[in-house]
Amino acid sequence: MTKNAIVLGAGIVGVSTAIHLQRRGRQVTLIDRKDPGNETSFGNAGLIQREGVAPYGFPQQFGLLLRYALNNRIDAHYHLRTLPSQIAFLARYWWNSNARRHAIITRAYAPLIENSVAEHKDLIEASQAQALIRKDGWMKLFRTQAKRDQSLAEAALWQNEFGVEYDSLSAADIARMEPDLTSDFAGGIHWRDPWSVLDPHALTSAYRRYFESLGGRFVTGDAASLGPFGSGWKIMTGEGPLEADDAVMALGPWAAVATRRLGYSFPLGVKRGYHMHYAAEGNAVLNNWMLDAERGYLLAPMNRGIRLTTGAEFATLDAPKTPVQLDRAEAVARTIFPLGRRLDPEPWMGARPCTPDMMPVIGKAPRHQGLWFAFGHAHHGLTLGPVTGRALAELITGETPFIDIAAYSPQRFKP
């Protein structure tokens, strides 16, 4: 008899997991409060980051921490009144970002990143979404020679250990590649391997349509109604109660709340982020995804316009929007590129789900049969959706996952 599965959360991780379970003979229902791809997966930088082998760590230098404490930067912002509730998470995050521990974590994290483009390629081709993809990498630009040299040295190490490919860019190279930039950069790195996505929401929607073409279905529902039922699980949906043998929680930043209802306690934090789309002035053209590394914002030439994305905001998940980083970033971005009018009625905001050891939670729930977790992908949710979906689906259906996912086990937090 065909086994049923429900996947809670219709972001890129949930949709990818649903596809891989459906491919392996499960009858899968994908469940969310909103249509697929309308939360965190909607607002990312649109990069499948094959080069991102090292997860984003917490600053270690005392002088830099003091500068962050002033709370006037683009790459990081915090809500002072919520810091006390986040201290425990931030302290563990800082501790894990020590150079020695971060190097260990990077080696454990790398297999996910190393397979990210190949696993997306599979789903892109299957969903006929090639028109949404560019395969020419992205640029990381530096205002000072010292920062450029430091980053190039790190890139050389990553190339040697993890096989990432890059080109060193001079100021003249940047001017040739981006003739409409109006400010000189000292140099940069062109990461060759990553792919970019012209519309992240459209890509998730394409994956959703492919999932449905395989026989899967999407219904609205609320994860709060999930509970054990017999030897499986039951949830209320917009079409009534639904029972399944297996349930996957791919709920992004809402995973901590949902798992807490079932008796788990994961140290999941959030890094909120903002974006806005802009027109270009006159005939100006932005050719590449471009990170202004020492200011902490990214410009991306997407279908909806030039998307400007910010760094991390440390706040509670449900706190009101405070898009001060976006305003700061826009002011700087206008000095290097002729941005035109804003195209969105208001800034978009989303929340990246983060663990203190910077690795996602992927695997079987420790205390429940038929319950599985896939969340905590931080800045790399788009990048890691398909590779996570395949590995977890293989585990659920009794196969040996194609990569070793032991390092991402929920058990490591003893929740």
Q: What is the pLDDT of residues 214-241, one digit of tens each?
A: 999 999 999 999 999 998 999 999 999 9
Whole-prediction pTM: 0.96
pLDDT in tens, 71-128: 889 999 989 888 888 889 999 999 999 999 999 999 999 999 999 999 999 999 999 9
Q: For residue 43, is pLDDT > 90?
A: no
Element (H, E) at 112: helix 99-114
CA distance linking residue 377 with residue 216, whole number of Å: 24
pLDDT over threshold 70, residue 325: yes
Q: Left if phi > 0, otherwise alpha if psi is -120 to 50, otherwise beta: which for 313?
A: beta
Q: What is the mean pLDDT of residues 368-393?
A: 97
Rg (CA), the chain: 21
Measure the CA–CA gap between 69 and 52, rounded to whole angstroms.
Answer: 27
What is the pLDDT, as a whole number, of residue 63? 80
Fold classified for 59-83+131-193+268-353: D-Amino Acid Oxidase; Chain A, domain 2 (3.30.9)
Which class for 90: exposed (0-12), middle (13-18), buried (19 or more C-beta within 10 A)?
middle
What is the distance between the alpha carbons of residues 61 and 17, in angstroms, rounded to a whole number?
39
Question: Nearest-CA neighbor of 348 among 261, 274, 256, 401?
Answer: 274
Predicted local distance difference test score (pLDDT) of residue 1: 60
Q: Name residue 339's beta-bridge partners.
A: 280
Q: Hey, is 159 helix, strand or coil?
A: helix
Task: Work out the mean pLDDT of the chain and round it to a whole number.
Answer: 95
Band of residue 355 on the pLDDT scale cut at 50, 70, 90: very high
> What's the confidence (pLDDT) of residue 225?
95
Around Cβ 77, how many Cβ atoms within 10 Å? Answer: 23
Backbone angles phi, psi at 331, to 5 degrees: -60, -40
Q: How confident is the model at residue 316, as a pLDDT?
A: 92
> How far does the chain reach from its first CA to its final CA, in angstroms?
33
Strand duo 269-280 + 246-249: pairing: unpaired
Please tell me the distance from the alpha carbon of residue 387 to that of residue 403, in angstroms, as a whole number: 9
Domain ranges, ordered by start, for the chain: 1-57+97-130+194-266+355-415, 59-83+131-193+268-353
* Domains 1-57+97-130+194-266+355-415 and 59-83+131-193+268-353 agree in fold: no
| CATH topology for the 1-57+97-130+194-266+355-415 domain | FAD/NAD(P)-binding domain (3.50.50)
Helix, strand, or coil here: 202? Answer: helix
